[in-house]
Amino acid sequence: MSELKTNVVSEGRVQTLAMDFLSVAQQAAIAAYPWIGKGNKNEADRAGTEAMRNRMNHIDMDGLIVIGEGEMDEAPMLFIDEELGTKKGPSVDIAVDPVDGTTAISKGKNNSITVIAVSSRGSLLHAPDMYMKKIAVGPKAKGHIDIEAPLIDNMKSVANALGKDVKDLTVMIQERPRHDDLVKQVFDAGAKVKLFTDVDVTPSIATAIDGIDADMLVGRGGAPEGVIAATGLKCLGGDFQGKLAPQNQEEFDRCISMGLSNPEKVLSLNEIVKSDDCFFVATGITDGLLMKGVRKKESGLLSTHSFLTVGGKGLLIEADF
């Protein structure tokens, strides 16, 4: 990774929009910044969403939101099938969360980010905002995961790919009662658990970043975050598998209506993100695993810290506004 304050050179037509979407993420983070620690997660989400929508509508693209955050908790959101942009540029699919970690931002906690994945039209999973079972690893363990296999089997496979003993693995798991059994299985294997409270996009991406103690992520979280994380991991050469988890007949039927004939099918990385012409961008709102949060300088300028991955490179970008 490196710091960058100039343009990113990209090869794909969609990837040429990367710097425009970096600006989108930055503006959304800045808009949400005043709501840190104010106890109102919906206002933080609304501010980020409005800023993101406004900036995206000025980009020369024919954009379509294919999966977005907000339906499960009735929060402000960019709506699935919402069209954005000037209609003059590339046709793109967009997966987005204007404020991932709304509870964290409302309580002044770490790990709140704004995050976006973009790919060529028709290439991102088109699904409702619902739960998804996930497993994520970095490049060295690519091809060595099976979401249908027992966790211990995946741990042995990943450890072998990384040249480690199972007991030396670090497994990222969101701290939720639904994951208590996963935590126990990791402990029983003698490996290390690293719990996080919110935002599973960052720990998923962390599995592909050298220098971060994160070998794999497992658990169940939001489908939008799954699609976004899968895009980032595809750009970084990692691997991801997902499986949608409808909670009721209504969610199952919604999947069917959106063209998913088998909603509970195992989805490989290349089924979630079908194109290589894609990119991932995130900006920190509060401090987190990959990025620093928005900071106000003595000059009055706001400083942002972002992570952008395009064409196999991960770039850390600092900017003042």
122, amino acid identity? G
9 φ/ψ angles, rounded to the nearest 5 degrees: -90, 120
- Full DSSP string of 196-235: ESS-SHHHHHHTTSTTSS--EEEEEEEHHHHHHHHHHHHH
Size (the chain), residues: 321
102 is known to lie in a ligand binding site: yes
End-to-end CA distance of the chain: 23
Q: How many CB atoms lie within 10 A of CB 82?
A: 16
On whether 239 is known to bind a ligand per the annotation, the reply is no
Alpha-carbon distance of 124 to 232, in angstroms, equals: 12
Quote the CA–CA distance of 177 and 191 in Å, as a whole number.
20
46 is in an annotated binding site: no
- Pairing type for strands 295-296 and 313-320 reads unpaired
Rounded to whole angstroms, the Cα distance separating 205 from 238 reads 8
* Residue entry with tokens 């990119």: 279
* Residue 178, annotated as binding a ligand: yes
Confirm or deny that 200 is annotated as ligand binding: yes
Q: Is 53 annotated as a binding residue?
A: no
Annotated binding residue 153: no
Q: Please report which helix (H) or strand (E) contains residue 255, including its range.
A: helix 249-257
Residue 128 in marked binding region: no
Distance between CA 25 and CA 19 in Å, rounded? 10
Distance (Å, rounded) from C-alpha 265 to C-alpha 105? 34
101 belongs to an annotated ligand binding site: yes
Please state, as a whole number, how many other Cβ atoms lie within 10 Å of the Cβ of residue 247: 10
| Residue 45 is assigned to a ligand binding site | yes
Write the Ramachandran bin of 184: left for phi over 0, alpha for psi from -120 to 50, otherwise beta.
alpha
β pairing state of 239-244 and 131-137: antiparallel
- Binding site, by residue number, is 45, 69, 97, 100-102, 131, 176-178, 198-200, 222, 225
- Binding site for substrate, by residue number, is 100-102, 131, 176-178, 198-200, 222
- Binding site for Mn(2+), by residue number, is 45, 69, 97, 100, 225
